[in-house]
Each structure stands twice: as C-alpha cells, then as structure tokens.
C-alpha cells in the first residue's frame, strides 16, 4: 500500500488549489515582460492589467529574476536620460 506523507499531500492540495486553467508558461511571461515593466514604470498597475503575468512572476523564480533584471536595467537607463 502506498503511503502519502502529510507534507506531500499538503503540497499536492496546494498545487491543485493554486493552479488555474488560465495560467501562462514562461514563454508567454517572457513575451509580455517588457510591457509589464513599461506599465510599472509609467505608474500604472500591471498586476491588474496583466494578472496572468503577475501571478506567474509570483510563482516562478526564474521569470522573477528576469523581471527584476529588466526593471533595474530600465531604471538605470532612465537615470542616464
Ligand atoms: Zn517562468
């Protein structure tokens, strides 16, 4: 008989509860990252306009790193101009 550890079960339930059918993958996230950062810099709220990207960034460390790198690069660029 297969036994499921409580923490594994918890993780499984968490995944089911937090995974939504409208979730995007890294490719889609990367493709929309420019716009997301632009909106942020324009003082808009991209989390509301692009909730899928926002949600992906919360879940995916790789894309979040990319997002932060892009953001700091743009901030650096805008300081020069
Ligand atoms: Zn990702």
How do the domains of the chain map onto residue ranges?
Answer: 23-80
Structure confidence at residue 65 as a pLDDT band (50, 70, 90)? very high
Which residues fall within 8 angstroms of residue 46, CB to CB, at 6 or more apart? 35, 36, 37, 39, 40, 53, 54
pLDDT of 72 higher than 80: yes
Span from the CA of 81 to the centroid of ligand 1 (angstroms) = 31
CB atoms near residue 64 (< 10 Å): 14
Span from the CA of 41 to the centroid of ligand 1 (angstroms) = 21
Percent residues over pLDDT 70 in the chain = 88
Span from the CA of 50 to the centroid of ligand 1 (angstroms) = 15
């Amino acid at each position: 008989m297969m036994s499921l550890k409580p923490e594994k079960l918890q993780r499984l339930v968490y995944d089911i509860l937090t995974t939504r059918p409208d979730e995007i993958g890294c490719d889609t996230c990367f493709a929309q990252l420019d716009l997301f950062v632009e909106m942020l810099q324009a003082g808009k709220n991209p989390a509301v306009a692009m909730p899928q990207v926002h949600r992906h960034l919360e879940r995916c460390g790789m894309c979040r790193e990319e997002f932060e790198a892009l953001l700091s690069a743009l901030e650096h660029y805008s300081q020069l101009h």
